[in-house]
Amino acid sequence: MAMEAEAAPLGEAIGAFRSESPPWARALPCRLDVAPATASRPEVVLAVNGIDPRTGVDCIGSTAAALTTQTVLTAYPGDEIDLVLSVGTAGGWSRLGADIGDVYMAWDRFVSHDRRIDIPGFDAFARGDLPAADLRHHAAALGCRTGIVTTGDSLDESPDDQERIRASGAEVKEMEAAAVAWVAHLHGVPVGAVKAITDLVDSPVSTSEQFTANLAAAAQSLRETTLALLDRLGADS
Ligand code: ADE
């Protein structure tokens, strides 16, 4: 997860306790908390990007997300981790039927909309197209929508970004998932995403205003949906 405000309700609910990062990652702000398995839930490692020491704000975005994912997957090697989930807030589109508070699970892939390399081969690398774990039956059971998740390092979007998002068919816009997916794939671990909609990209109200107004409610939705998903994953295993 990227933000403390997104992670706090879930962290409290699962009763996680602090775990050490591997030595190579100790200079990074990311934080690992572990919640032991319960009768209904598998063991959970809650990894949060942490606070940037220079600016004092959450390390939102793909660089910190990739480093956090690498930290988790070296602290708990790929053969110990069944599934990586990128959990957080996102923008959606009312023209595609999204509403504030909706929760999406990623299907069928993660893409990047602000990495443009117009050279054969590199164009595909930049776009990502990383497969998402098939959580559709869980999404249906939990009343979640599903959609392609598109990642970029800005809260707003340039005209080029908008064009690429339309071309990819993405329905969920956020700032970490494709980076998390890239690292998880390198480790051979399936990756999914749970994203609560804080803002409608095609609304006349600014994204930052919508985001700020809806962050706390979205964090509660993330908590409820993620807990229910963890119970269902526990029942499957
Ligand atoms: N996180 C929440 N809303 C977002 C948006 N519209 N774009 C990128 N990241 C977001």
pLDDT per residue over 13-59, tens digit each? 999 999 999 999 999 999 999 999 999 999 999 999 999 999 999 99
Report whether pLDDT(77) > 90. no
DSSP 82: S
The domain at 4-236 falls in which architecture? 3-Layer(aba) Sandwich (3.40)
Answer yes or no: are the C-beta atoms of 150 and 113 closer than 8 Å: yes
- The average confidence (pLDDT) of the chain is 96
**Ligand 1 pocket list (CB less than 6 A):** 89-91, 155, 173-175, 198-199, 201, 207, 211
- CA of 36 relative to ligand 1 center, distance in Å: 31
How confident is the model over 143-170, as a mean pLDDT? 97
Pick from 58, 3, 61, 68: nearest CA to 32: 68
Torsion sign over Cα 101, 103, 108, 110: positive
| Dist. CA 172 → ligand 1 center (Å) | 8
Report the Cα–Cα distance between both ends of the chain, in Å, rounded.
24
pLDDT score, position 212: 97
pLDDT attached to residue 236? 83
Distance (Å) of CA 4 to CA 46, 59, 96, 99, 119: 11, 10, 29, 23, 38
Amino acid identity, residue 188? G
Segments making up each domain of the chain, as ranges: 4-236
Gap between the Cα atoms of 124 and 205, Å rounded: 33
* Structure confidence at residue 211 (pLDDT): 97
Is residue 166 within 8 A of residue 148, CB to CB? The reply is: no
**Residue 33 to residues 46, 182, 230, 232, Cα–Cα distance (Å):** 5, 22, 16, 21
In the structure encoding, which two tokens stand for residue 37, read together? 């398995």
Q: Which of 172, 207, 209, 214, when mutated, tests ligand 1's pocket best, judged by the most ligand atoms within 8 Å of its CB?
A: 207
Look at residue 224 in the predicted model and tell me its pLDDT. Answer: 97
Share of residues in the chain with pLDDT > 90 (%): 97
User: In this structure, are strands 191-200 and 84-92 parallel, antiparallel, or unpaired?
Assistant: parallel
Q: How far is 145 from 159, CA to CA, in rounded Å?
A: 26
